């Protein structure tokens, strides 16, 4: 028998929204929030907003890379400690 997806109210959905966007809920809870968002025009914009916010924040990965001088210093320190790279 397929599991029925439990209905949840807006407050519950919103309280789990970050966990949902981070994919940190178990499968049953993920489906509950997903179902609520599909049927709630009030909560959906919050999810869209949160998704865009997190996507933009994650962009920092591309904006901040190790400066070449730092990388050189680390490699020199490791070499002094015996590390050799082919």
Q: How far is the CB of 30 from other proteins (least distance, A)?
A: 14
Asked if 28 and 8 count as a contact pair (C-beta separation under 8 A), the reply is: no
Q: Which of 6, 22, 28, 31 binds other proteins (CB under 8 A)?
A: 22
**Eight-class DSSP state of 25:** S
- Distance, in Å, from the CA atom of 68 to the CA atom of 65, rounded to the nearest integer, reads 9
Instruction: Please list every residue from 26 through 65 that binds other proteins, using CB under 8 A.
Output: 45-46, 49-50, 52-54, 56-61, 63-65
Counted residue by residue, the chain has a size of: 86
CA distance 14 to 44: 10
List interacting residues with other proteins (CB under 8 A).
11, 14-19, 22, 24, 45-46, 49-50, 52-54, 56-61, 63-67, 69-71, 73-74, 77-78, 81-86
């Amino acid at each position: 028998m397929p599991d029925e997806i439990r209905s949840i109210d807006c407050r519950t959905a919103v309280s789990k929204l970050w966990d949902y966007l981070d994919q940190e809920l178990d499968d049953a809870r993920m489906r509950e929030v997903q179902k609520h968002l599909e049927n709630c025009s009030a909560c959906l914009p919050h999810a869209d907003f949160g998704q865009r916010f997190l996507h933009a924040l994650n962009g920092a990965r591309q904006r901040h890379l190790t400066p070449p001088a730092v990388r050189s210093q680390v490699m020199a320190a490791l070499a002094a400690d015996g590390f050799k790279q082919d």
